[in-house]
Amino acid sequence: MRELVLNCPEAQAEALSDLLLEAGVLSVSVEDADGNTDAERPLFGEPGLEPEVQAWDRNVLVALLPDGLDPAQIIEQLGDAGYADYQAGQWSMREVPDADWVRLTQSQFQPIQVGERIWIVPSWHRDNPDVPARQDDASAEGAIHIELDPGLAFGTGSHPTTHLCLEWLSTHVQGQETLLDYGCGSGILAIAAKKLGAGDTHAVDIDEQAVQSTRYNAQVNQVALEAMLPNDLSDGQYQLVVANILSNPLKLLAPMLSNRVLPGGHLVLSGVLERQALEVAQAYAPWLAMDVWQAREGWVCLHGRRPA
């Protein structure tokens, strides 16, 4: 396969990407033309939110071509759309070496140990000898395996916020507690809670794909839980409520999440940067006193207990 490489300024990056896709390329990536130099400039925002700037000052557009697509034809279409500069030769081609892309992608996802007991294991590492044998008895102290492959929903187990929530659950689930995982993503927290011995567990997400992903992952991990959209969640309170989302949604959800906690129950929040911790805690202050349980890599896990 081959890649068509173009240079463009920030103002043209999005439009050119769309035109390349319309011309039949398989994919387009936008890279910083100043990457790995002193002029490199990071673009980032909170996870789940788009950055304010979509491209760099100087960009490299890399378009993957299917077999049989003539790059000259693409350049001609760009010229017809008003980008005649590229017809003067401001583009290049490069070969993409053959590779086993499935194996290459899988190699990026290794088993992850969280705390002393929890192991997140992609299916292709199911028989990995370096992973301790799983313990199916939740009351025992052996390793707990969560089989999870990367998918469309957030929660592969690699993010610090997921680790913080998993570690809290690992040290606090005593057995048979009712639990609500709000913003469940892949379902990793709800599945972990069930494997740790939690009782009735509900997982909720606003994204239908996340709900389907949670149901699928629960089936793979042989745990029983209910996954649903918010409107399908019936009235009720829980001994444990966990929400690993983002600070702004957490603040808006403060009344609802707080009132979902049974008297004497626990509320665990993550997806919060350290600098946002006080602001989020203040949003919950009318119902629960929230404190930082642990911090990691600039993120915090907040915990509060509703007065009995």
Architecture of the domain made up of 154-305: 3-Layer(aba) Sandwich (3.40)
What is the spatial distance between Cα 287 and Cα 305, in angstroms, rounded to a whole number? 9
> Which structure tokens are listed for 68?
């049989």
Residue 266's DSSP bridge partners are 240, 305
pLDDT tens digits, the chain, 308 residues: what are they?
A: 899 999 999 889 999 999 999 999 999 999 998 888 887 777 655 544 555 666 788 899 999 999 899 999 999 999 999 988 886 677 899 988 776 655 666 667 788 899 988 999 988 888 888 788 776 656 567 788 999 987 766 667 789 999 999 999 999 999 999 999 999 999 999 999 999 999 999 999 999 999 999 999 999 999 999 999 999 999 999 999 999 999 999 999 999 999 999 999 999 999 999 999 999 999 999 999 999 999 999 999 999 999 98
What is the spatial distance between Cα 227 and Cα 190, in angstroms, rounded to a whole number? 9
What's the fold here for domain 2-98?
Alpha-Beta Plaits (3.30.70)
Torsion of CA 117, 123, 125, 130, to 10 degrees: 20
Instruction: Outline which parts of the chain fall under CATH 3.40.50.150.
Output: 154-305
Where in the chain does DSSP place strands (E)? 2-9, 27-32, 58-65, 91-95, 112-114, 118-121, 144-147, 179-182, 201-204, 226-228, 238-244, 261-273, 290-296, 299-305
| pTM, full prediction | 0.71
Where does residue 262 rank: exposed (0-12), middle (13-18), buried (19+ CB within 10 A)?
A: middle
DSSP string, 127-172: T-TTSPPB---TTS-SBEEEE----SSS--S-SHHHHHHHHHHHHH
Instruction: Outline which parts of the chain fall under CATH 3.30.70.
Output: 2-98
